[in-house]
């Protein structure tokens, strides 16, 4: 059985490992069924996305709308773009988590900016008619709560995108390109412990005042999200495996 691929962009080892562990656990994979490539660490080797059952693109510190991109970010974006070109052209199973929204939107002609960012917190999303009919959201209620935190978002989707879930501050919370290419602005791979860990890791990354770190950790540890949101991870694996 083909493994899945995780493209990570997090430079912090604990954040990258936490992301990998969360995807393995919540997607119902064995550790050896997920191959992780740290895109920020080195140039992505020549790879064929068709050799994987599906591709995850994790979140991280990069923003498509950044105006002062480092050489590392520019190289990582170019490497990711080459993978996205194949994924979209071949309609391969793909799930972008937060950063994936910006990467897909910007690369395929939509508009990504900081007018629709959301602070660390819980967002309520509403499925569109298309979302209710999409297998990615099987078992997920029409309105659901998930963790979020992002500096930018999709304001105008790429041509041909189907919006699957909407929000208030950030209207586009999930979309699909083709039949198998997905991206979510919220974090279906995050539970309370995972968000608390990321808050501590990214206390100085500009998402919030560092003085609020422990207050936000307490919020993460006591907040209620929709348990069903994690079904998105197993649903994606099922879609990718064709059953």
Task: Give CA–CA dist 49/220, Å, rounded.
Answer: 35
Check: CB of residue 83 under 8 Å from CB of residue 43: no
Check: CB of residue 92 under 8 Å from CB of residue 54: yes
Check: CB of residue 37 under 8 Å from CB of residue 5: yes
What's the angle, vertex CA 135, arms to CA 231 and CA 21, rounded to 5? 35
**pLDDT of the residue at 183:** 96
The pTM of the whole model exceeds 0.85: yes
Helix pair angle (71-90, 99-107), 10° resolution: 70
pLDDT tens per residue across all 243 residues of the chain: 899 999 999 989 999 999 999 999 999 999 999 999 999 999 888 889 999 999 999 988 888 888 999 999 999 999 999 999 999 999 999 999 988 899 999 999 999 999 998 888 999 999 999 999 999 999 999 999 999 988 888 999 998 999 999 999 999 999 999 999 999 999 999 999 999 999 999 898 888 899 999 999 998 999 999 999 999 999 999 999 996
Task: Give CA–CA dist 28/237, Å, rounded.
Answer: 8
Other beta carbons within 10 Å of 109 = 12
**pLDDT of the residue at 151:** 87
- For residue 89, CA distances in Å to 49, 64, 82, 94, 171 come to 11, 21, 11, 12, 26
Task: Give CA–CA dist 48/58, Å, rounded.
Answer: 18
CA atoms within 13 A on the CB side of 173: 28
- Burial class of residue 210 (count of CB atoms within 10 Å of its CB; 0-12, 13-18, 19+): exposed
* Residues found in the chain: 243
CA atoms within 13 A on the CB side of 19: 27
**pLDDT of the residue at 243:** 63
Q: Which of 76, 104, 89 is nearest to 7 (CA)?
A: 76
């Amino acid at each position: 059985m083909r493994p899945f691929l995780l493209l990570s962009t997090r430079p912090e080892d604990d954040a990258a490992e936490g992301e990998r562990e969360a995807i393995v656990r919540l997607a119902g994979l064995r550790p050896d069924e997920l191959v992780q490539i740290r895109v920020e660490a080195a140039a992505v080797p020549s790879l064929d996305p068709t050799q994987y059952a599906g591709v995850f693109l994790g979140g991280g510190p990069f923003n498509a709308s950044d105006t002062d991109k480092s050489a590392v970010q520019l190289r990582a974006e170019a490497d990711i773009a080459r993978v996205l070109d194949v994924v979209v052209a071949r309609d391969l199973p793909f799930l972008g988590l937060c950063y994936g929204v910006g990467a897909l939107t910007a690369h395929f002609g939509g508009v990504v900016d900081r007018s629709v960012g959301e602070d660390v917190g819980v967002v309520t999303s509403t499925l569109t008619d298309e979302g209710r009919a999409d297998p990615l959201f099987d078992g997920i209620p029409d309105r659901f709560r998930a963790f979020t935190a992002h500096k930018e978002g999709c304001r105008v989707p790429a041509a041909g995108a189907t919006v699957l879930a909407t929000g208030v501050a950030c209207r586009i919370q999930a979309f699909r390109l083709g039949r198998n290419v997905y991206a979510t602005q919220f974090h279906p791979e995050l539970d309370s412990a995972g968000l608390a860990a990321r808050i501590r890791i990214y206390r100085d990354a500009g998402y919030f005042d560092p003085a609020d770190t422990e207050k936000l950790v307490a919020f993460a540890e006591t907040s209620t999200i929709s348990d069903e949101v994690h079904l998105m991870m197993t649903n994606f694996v099922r879609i990718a495996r064709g059953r």
